[in-house]
C-alpha cells in the first residue's frame, strides 16, 4: 500500500533546475533511501515533501492528503529530522522535546510522559536537564531525531542522520531507525553513505543533478552487479597521477579511484591481474595488496551514476551544495 | 484546542527564553527609565512632564518591541530553530501571532514604566486611562508588526538592528514628539503623516493631555491599517524568502 506518491516533481531556482520531474512512491512500512552526491537535489526534495519548499510543478500525495495544498494536514502526520540541528540551544533536552510535542497539540501530561520516554529510549535520560548547547554532537543528533518522532508520526523524513557523528553513535542511530521501522514507521532517508543505505533500506533511488536515474529494491540492484568482477589494488605510492594513463591503457575495464592509494578495476569479463601488475611495476608502483571485492551497492551507484564514491565523500566533507 | 496549545507554547517558550531573561528585563526597565529621566529632567515644570509623557511612552513601546523581534525571529531563523516552527502543523498566520504576542506584551509593559515614574512626580488625574491603555495596545501591535516586517526582510540580526534604526530614529524626530508637526518644514509634514508613530503618539496626547490634533478614530484606523499591511507583508516575505 502506497503511503507517499510523487509525480513529476520539479523545483527551479531562477532558471536552475534543482529537481527535474522526479516520480517515486513509498510503500507503507518500508525504508526508502535517497542516494546522491552533494547538490543532487536530495534536501530540496525533502523540503518539498515536508513543506519547506514549494514545488515549481508536480504532485505530492501523502497518506491520502494533497501534499502541496494541504501541507498543514500532512505536517501533522509526518516527522522531520533535518541534516542540521534545529532545536533551541537555551533550552534543556527535556524542555526541547516537550516544546516540540506542544507544536502538535499534545496535552501537558502526554507530552511530558512521551518526552521522558524518548529520552530514556535514546539513552539521554541522565542529560535531560542539561542545556542543549552543552550536548555533544552525537547527543544533539539523537535529540533532534527524538524531536522528529515526538508525535509518533507514521512517516519519518531523515536527512543525512549519521553525517558528522562518531561511529558508535551512528551505529546506535541506525539501530534506532531499524527499531522505528520495525514498529511500523515508514522512513524516507537521504544519505551519502552507500553502506548505510545498503544496510538499512528496502528500496533505493539514485538522484544525480536533480534527476532520479534509478529506483529499485536494494536486493535487485545488488543482483545487477553480481556478474561484475572487481579487483581492488592498494599501492605504496599515490596513484592519482597515473589515473588517466591507466584509463587510456586499460580501455576494456572500469576504473574507480577509492582514494590516493586504492584503485578498483571492474569488468563483466574475467580480469587478468598480470597486465596490471606489469603496468604498476613499470611505473615503479609497489602493489601492497590486490583483492577481489564482493559486489556491493557502491558498484551499483558508480555504474548507474558514473560518480566516484571518493569524489562524493570529499564533496560531503566540504559541506557545500545544500539548499 | 491543538492550535491553542501550540500558540500558547510558542508564546511561553519565547517568554522564558527571551523576555524574562535578565538582559531583556533590564533593557525593558532601564531603557524606558532612561528615556523618562532624560525628558523629565529637561522639563522645567510639572505640567511639562505630562506633556512629554505620551511621547516617552510611545518611544518606550517602539524601541522595546522592534528590538526584541530581531532576536526572537531573525536569530531563530539564522539558527534554524524557526524552521521547526514552519514545519509544525500550524498556519503561518497563527505562528506569526504567537511569535509577536510576546513582543506586544513586552512593549505594553515598557510603556507602563514612564507612566509609573510620572505618577510619583506629577498629578495624573484627568487622564482617560481606558483610551490610554487601548492606544498603548494599538501602538504595541503596530510597532511589533513593524519589527516583524523588518525581521523577516533581512537575514542577519545586525541587519535587523540597523534597518530598525533607519526606521526608528527618523520616526522619533518626525512624529511630533520633539517638534510639533505644524512647526516642521512643509516638505517634511507629509512624511510625518505617513508614520504610524505620529498617530499613536497623537492618541496618547489626546487621552493624557487632551491636546491631540488628529481625530482619534482616524489615528486608530491608520494604526489598524498599518498593522494589517505590515502583517500581510511579513506573511508574504516569509512565504517568499523562507518557504522558497
ipTM score for this prediction: 0.84
| pLDDT for the residue A322 | 44
- Taking the Cβ of residue B20 and every Cβ of chain A, the question of whether any pair is shorter than 8 Å is answered with no
Please say if the pLDDT value at position B153 is more than 60.
yes
Separation of alpha carbons A187 and B61, rounded Å: 48
Comparing A228 with A120, the larger pLDDT belongs to: A120
pLDDT tens string A9-48: 999 988 889 899 999 999 999 999 998 888 888 989 999 9
Using an 8 Å CB-CB cutoff, list chain B residues near A96.
Answer: none
Cα of B7 to nearest chain A Cα, Å: 8
* Three cell numbers written together for B41: 529632567
Please say if the pLDDT value at position B64 is more than 90.
no
* Cα separation values, B54 from A111, B33, B114, B127, B135, Å: 45, 14, 9, 11, 10
Separation of alpha carbons B133 and B39, rounded Å: 21
Between chains, do A91 and B13 touch, taking CB under 8 Å as contact? Answer: yes
Separation of alpha carbons A209 and A16, rounded Å: 11
pLDDT tens string A118-127: 999 888 889 9
Q: Domain limits of chain A?
A: 2-218, 227-294
Separation of alpha carbons A213 and B86, rounded Å: 31
Q: Which domain holds residue B65?
A: 2-242
Using an 8 Å CB-CB cutoff, list chain A residues near B3.
Answer: 105
Comparing B168 with A131, the larger pLDDT belongs to: A131
**What's this model's pTM, rounded to 2 decimal places?**
0.80
Which homologous superfamily is A2-218 in? P-loop containing nucleotide triphosphate hydrolases (3.40.50.300)
Using an 8 Å CB-CB cutoff, list chain B residues near A19.
Answer: none
With cut-offs at 50, 70 and 90, classify the pLDDT of residue B227.
very high
Average pLDDT over residues B15-26: 82
Provide the domain count of chain B. 1
Average pLDDT over residues A198-214: 90
A227-294 maps to which CATH number? 3.30.70.100
- Taking the Cβ of residue B10 and every Cβ of chain A, the question of whether any pair is shorter than 8 Å is answered with yes
| pLDDT for the residue A321 | 41
pLDDT above 70 coverage of chain B, percent: 97
Between chains, do B83 and A73 touch, taking CB under 8 Å as contact? Answer: no
Please say if the pLDDT value at position B140 is more than 80.
yes
Angle at A179 between CA A138 and CA A215, to 5 degrees: 90
Average pLDDT over residues A103-126: 92
- Taking the Cβ of residue A261 and every Cβ of chain B, the question of whether any pair is shorter than 8 Å is answered with no
pLDDT tens string B33-44: 777 777 777 666
Amino acid at each position: 500500500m502506497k503511503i507517499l506518491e510523487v509525480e513529476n516533481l520539479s523545483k527551479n531556482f531562477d532558471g536552475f533546475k534543482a529537481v527535474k520531474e522526479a516520480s517515486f512512491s513509498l510503500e507503507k512500512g518500508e525504508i526508502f533511501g535517497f542516494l546522491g552526491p552533494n547538490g543532487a537535489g536530495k534536501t530540496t526534495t525533502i523540503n518539498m515533501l515536508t513543506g519547506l519548499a514549494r514545488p515549481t510543478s508536480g504532485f505530492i500525495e501523502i497518506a491520502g492528503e494533497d501534499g502541496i495544498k494541504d501541507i498543514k494536514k500532512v505536517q501533522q502526520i509526518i516527522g522531520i529530522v533535518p541534516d542540521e540541528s534545529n532545536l533551541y540551544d537555551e533550552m534543556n533536552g527535556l524542555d526541547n522535546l516537550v516544546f516540540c510535542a506542544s507544536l502538535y497539540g499534545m496535552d501537558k501530561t502526554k507530552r511530558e510522559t512521551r518526552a521522558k520516554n524518548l529520552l530514556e529510549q535514546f539513552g539521554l535520560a541522565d542529560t535531560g536537564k542539561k542545556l542543549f548547547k552543552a550536548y555533544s554532537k552525537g547527543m544533539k543528533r539523537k535529540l533532534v531525531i527524538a524531536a522528529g518522532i515526538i508525535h509518533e508520526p507514521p512517516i519519518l523524513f531523515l536527512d543525512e542522520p549519521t553525517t558528522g557523528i562518531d561511529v558508535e553513535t551512528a551505529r546506535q542511530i541506525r539501530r534506532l531507525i531499524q527499531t522505528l521501522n520495525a514498529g511500523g514507521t515508514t522512513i524516507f532517508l537521504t544519505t551519502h553513505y552507500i553502506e548505510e543505505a545498503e544496510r538499512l533500506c528496502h528500496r533505493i533511488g539514485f538522484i544525480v543533478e536533480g534527476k532520479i536515474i534509478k529506483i529499485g529494491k536494494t536486493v535487485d540492484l545488488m543482483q545487477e552487479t553480481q556478474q561484475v568482477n572487481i579487483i581492488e589494488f592498494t599501492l605504496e605510492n599515490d596513484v592519482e597521477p597515473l589515473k588517466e594513463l591507466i584509463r587510456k591503457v586499460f580501455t576494456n575495464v572500469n576504473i574507480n579511484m577509492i582514494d590516493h592509494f586504492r584503485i578498483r578495476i571492474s569488468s563483466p569479463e574475467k580480469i587478468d591481474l598480470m597486465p596490471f601488475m606489469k603496468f604498476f611495476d613499470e611505473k615503479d608502483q609497489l602493489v601492497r595488496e590486490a583483492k577481489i571485492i564482493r559486489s556491493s551497492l557502491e558498484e551499483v551507484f558508480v555504474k548507474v551514476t558514473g560518480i566516484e564514491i571518493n569524489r562524493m565523500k570529499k564533496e560531503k566533507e566540504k559541506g557545500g551544495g545544500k539548499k | 484546542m491543538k492550535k491553542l496549545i501550540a500558540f500558547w507554547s510558542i508564546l511561553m517558550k519565547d517568554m522564558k527564553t527571551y523576555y524574562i531573561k535578565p538582559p531583556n528585563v533590564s533593557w525593558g526597565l532601564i531603557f524606558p527609565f532612561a528615556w523618562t529621566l532624560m525628558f523629565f529632567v529637561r522639563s522645567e515644570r510639572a505640567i511639562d512632564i505630562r506633556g512629554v509623557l505620551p511621547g516617552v511612552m510611545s518611544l518606550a513601546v517602539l524601541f522595546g518591541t522592534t528590538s526584541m523581534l530581531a532576536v526572537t525571529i531573525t536569530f531563530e531563523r539564522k539558527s534554524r530553530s524557526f524552521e521547526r516552527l514552519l514545519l509544525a502543523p500550524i498556519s503561518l498566520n497563527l505562528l506569526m501571532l504567537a511569535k509577536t504576542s510576546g513582543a506586544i506584551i513586552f512593549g505594553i509593559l515598557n510603556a507602563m514604566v514612564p507612566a509609573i515614574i510620572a505618577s510619583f512626580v506629577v498629578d495624573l488625574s484627568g487622564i482617560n486611562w481606558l483610551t490610554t491603555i487601548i492606544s498603548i495596545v494599538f501602538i504595541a501591535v503596530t510597532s511589533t508588526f513593524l519589527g516583524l516586517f523588518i525581521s523577516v526582510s533581512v537575514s542577519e540580526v545586525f541587519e535587523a538592528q540597523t534597518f530598525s534604526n533607519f526606521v526608528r530614529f527618523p520616526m522619533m524626530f518626525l512624529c511630533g514628539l520633539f517638534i510639533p508637526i505644524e512647526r516642521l518644514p512643509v516638505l517634511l509634514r507629509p512624511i510625518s503623516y505617513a508614520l504610524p508613530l505620529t498617530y499613536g503618539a497623537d492618541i496618547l496626547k489626546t487621552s493624557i493631555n487632551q491636546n491631540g490634533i488628529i481625530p482619534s478614530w482616524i489615528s486608530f484606523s491608520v494604526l489598524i491599517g498599518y498593522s494589517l499591511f505590515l502583517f500581510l507583508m511579513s506573511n508574504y516575505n516569509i512565504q517568499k524568502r523562507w518557504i522558497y
